[in-house]
Amino acid sequence: SQNGDAFEQTLNALFEDCRADPACSNAYLDLESVYQTVIAQLDSQPIQVETPINPKTTVVRSVNGSTFRNILLWMLRNPDTIAVIPQFIYRTRDGDRSMLNLSVAFPVYAFDSISTGIYVAVNCRDQIFVMSMDELDNTIRELCRVWDVKPPLPGENEPVLSDIPTLIFAGRYDPVTPISFANQLVGHLTNGKVIIIPDQGHAPTVTGISDCPVKLISSFLLEPNASLDISCVNETQPIGFVTPFEPNTSISFESVVVNQYRVTSQIPLGWTAAEFGFYNRDRSFGDITQIGIQRAAVSEADWANWLFTNFQGNKGFDQPVIKYGERPANGLIWSLYTTTALGNPVDIAFARSGDETLMVLMLSYKDEHDALYNLVFLPVVDLATSSN
């Protein structure tokens, strides 16, 4: 089908761009082959994923190769998610489900900002009625029937022939209305021009990520027959693919006081305050990396046991914490523990301060853990202390 071909074309463009980007190609060797491996793995052994639909509701879905392709289809619509696709493919291959849990819900999240009625009506009229029955699931045609969408009129789907000045935008990574569609359309418009936005997915004129498309539209509407200055397109930077945090990364810190728990320490500059003394890295879409600093009038053992079942909204840890050492710092003796949550590394440090216990906890990814442990977790532990 056209949509299937468009998806493959767009994904191939992403593979090409990753190969051309030294950081991406070094971090994700032979990305296309790894993608095919992930599809084969999921087709042979689908995995069950629990994904949040809203703060109070989760659903369990089976993810096979087709589901994974559909997830990528939605991710290719937006530059923020396009940037993490190589990392998403690699982490899925390596058994990290943290991004998969969130990504499975993309269609649900997307329909919060889509008029479902218009979406169904347009797709039924423009695409469904011109496809043969063996290309469709019966439930799709039934949806069009229930919505009472009328088939297109004779000739309605014929190409528009015109000499009216026309400006056509396409995002390089758009799998829905791809570049090939734009090129096909402009072939029937003698005064048409295609503008390809290199760092965008679907509907590049309305994402608001760049003001370049809006500037071009304004110039075009003022003088439709004039030569268009597309320098802003040429100046657009390519997608910056997200790569794992490296051990040689330089980190700056800022002092923090967590008034809720009466503790002080330092956190990496740019990490954002969340709830309960935690700070999120927010480096890219869906980033789970966070560090928290707290104090409570409980014993180290009781706190560890409570976290085992209650960490992150009663999700808890995969197994009880394991103590692996101690660390003297800032007049305190810290007990160091490790465990995992949904397969991701969790580091915890406890220290007794008077009648209370201080805690530092960091959640990270497997492929970044060692670097973050040395460059973030330990420096935060070393400066953590009671504020009164």
CATH at residue 309: 3.40.1000.10
Domain-located, residue 26:
yes
The string of pLDDT tens digits covering residues 158-196 is 888 999 999 999 989 998 888 989 999 999 999 999 999
Q: Which domain holds residue 69?
A: 2-110
Domain finish residue from 62, 81, 110: 110
CB contact at 8 A, 281 and 271: yes
pLDDT given at position 31: 97
pLDDT given at position 202: 86
Rounded-to-integer distance, Cα 289 and Cα 281, Å: 6
The string of pLDDT tens digits covering residues 255-309 is 999 999 999 999 999 999 999 999 999 999 889 999 999 999 999 999 999 999 9
Average pLDDT value for the chain: 89
Domain-located, residue 190:
no
pLDDT (average), residues 100-115: 65
First to last CA, the chain: 67
3-state secondary structure 313-335: HHCCCCCCCEEEEEEEECCEEEE
Domain-located, residue 195:
no
Domain-located, residue 247:
no
Higher-confidence position of 173 and 130: 173
Rounded-to-integer distance, Cα 387 and Cα 218, Å: 56
Domain-located, residue 223:
no
- The pTM assigned to this predicted structure is 0.84
Higher-confidence position of 375 and 126: 375
Domain finish residue from 110, 130, 147: 110
pLDDT given at position 113: 56
Domain finish residue from 85, 110, 135: 110
User: Which amino acid is it at 361?
Assistant: L
What share of the chain has pLDDT > 70, as a percent? 91
Domain-located, residue 290:
yes
pLDDT at residue 110 above 60? no
Task: Please state the domain count of the chain.
Answer: 2
Domain-located, residue 21:
yes
Domain-located, residue 151:
no
The string of pLDDT tens digits covering residues 318-359 is 999 999 999 999 999 999 999 999 899 999 999 999 999 999
